[in-house]
Structure formats: C-alpha cells, structure tokens
Structure 1
Amino acid sequence: MQLYQTLFSRFKEMYYASVTIGIIASSCIGSIAAMLILMNGYGLWQMFQLFLIVAVAMTYNATVLAQLKPKFIFNALLISLSASVIVITGYLLF
C-alpha cells in the first residue's frame, strides 16, 4: 500500500507529464500484447482477448480525455498496464 501511495503522489505531482507518458506506455504495451495475441491465430478466443486488451487500453485514454479525477485515471493506468503485461507474460511463457 505504501508503494501505491508513493506512486500516486508522484503521479499527481507531475500530472500532465504522467498522463502523457501513461498514454504512450499503455498504447505501446497494449500493442505488444495485441501483436502476441494475433501471432497465435485468428480464432474466436484470440479475438476475445484482443477485444479485452484494446478495450482496457482505450478505457485509460478515455479517462484522460474525460478529465476524470487523478485517482481514477491512475487506477485505469494500472489496470491497463497490468492486463497487457499479464497477456504478454502468458504468451511468452506458455
């Protein structure tokens, strides 16, 4: 919990820079996850996974554009990055 509070305080401190870097990171990590999904086929399961990754990444972008509260934007960024990293490690390890 201390790590979360520290990261969130830094996020709020440099809000505009953090949001910009977050958009770039979420898009890049999400596109790597999408590439790995599509490298393994074009079936219904892969399309569902692709939909989830794109939806989560775009949700973060939408929270930024809607100018929601910084805590909500930060949580959306964490969810977006976590989902993409989980998919990436899943495809690389298995």
Structure 2
Amino acid sequence: MSVYKKFYEEFKGGYYMHATLGIIASSCLGSVAALLILNSGSRAIEMVELFWITSVCMGYNAAVLSNLNKSWVFNLLIISVLSSILLTFYHLAVL
C-alpha cells in the first residue's frame, strides 16, 4: 500500500477530526508563509507568491466548508501544506 493511500484511508476514517486539524494547520502555515513573503519585499513575484499561498489555503478551507468529496479535500490539504512549507523554507533561505 502506498503512503498516499495509507494517509488517505486514515484521513477518510476520521474525516471530521482531520479536516478540522487541517484547517488549523493550513491556516497557520499559510500565515507564516505570507508573513515571510511580505517581509521579502513587494515586487511582482512576491505578490504572485502571496496570491498563490492565499488561494490554496482559502481553497482548502472552502473545500471543507462546502463539503466537497473527501479525496478533493485531502488533495487540497496536501497542496496547501506543501506550498506553505516550500515557500516558507525558500524565504527563510533568502533572508
């Protein structure tokens, strides 16, 4: 069984608990990434990064609130968390 399927089955089993924790994690990681992006400057590339991180974090929150399919919610959580972590590490390395 792949790691993705293993985590998806766990997510699906305790959906309401994991979706709630996902909202907290996505929002917190997204806000840290947004803070670091804004500290880096206000050029066009930073504004695109800020738009991206805001869109994916809010997209995950909207997916949970609109009760989308569990696989969509799980995939959006992965995209949101990975985007936040990657942009956070990138901007920490640049500082």
Same fold, TM-score > 0.5, yes or no: yes
In the alignment, the residues of structure 2 paired with residue 16 and residue 59 of structure 1 have an alpha-carbon distance, to the nearest angstrom, of 17
Partner of 1:6: 6
Partner of 1:28: 28
Partner of 1:46: 46
How does 1:82-93 map onto structure 2 within 5 Å? 82-93=82-93
Q: After alignment, is 17-26 or 43-52 more displaced?
A: 43-52
- Give the Å deviation of 1:9: 0.6
In the alignment, the residues of structure 2 paired with residue 43 and residue 92 of structure 1 have an alpha-carbon distance, to the nearest angstrom, of 17
C-alpha root-mean-square deviation of aligned residues, in Å?
Answer: 1.1
- Helix, strand or coil at the partner of 1:42: coil
- Give the Å deviation of 1:78: 0.2
Q: Letter of the aligned partner of 2:49 in structure 1?
A: Q
- Helix, strand or coil at the partner of 2:41: coil
Partner of 1:59: 59
- Give the Å deviation of 1:55: 0.4
Deviations 1:37-92 (A, max 9, x none): 01111222211111110001001011111101101100000000011111011112
Consecutive unaligned residues of structure 2, counting only runs of 5 or more, are none
Q: Percentage identity across aligned positions?
A: 44
**TM-score normalised by L of structure 1:** 0.94
Partner of 2:75: 75
Query: How many equivalent pairs are there?
Result: 94
State the 4+ residue runs in structure 1 displaced beyond 3 angstroms: none
**TM-score normalised by L of structure 2:** 0.94
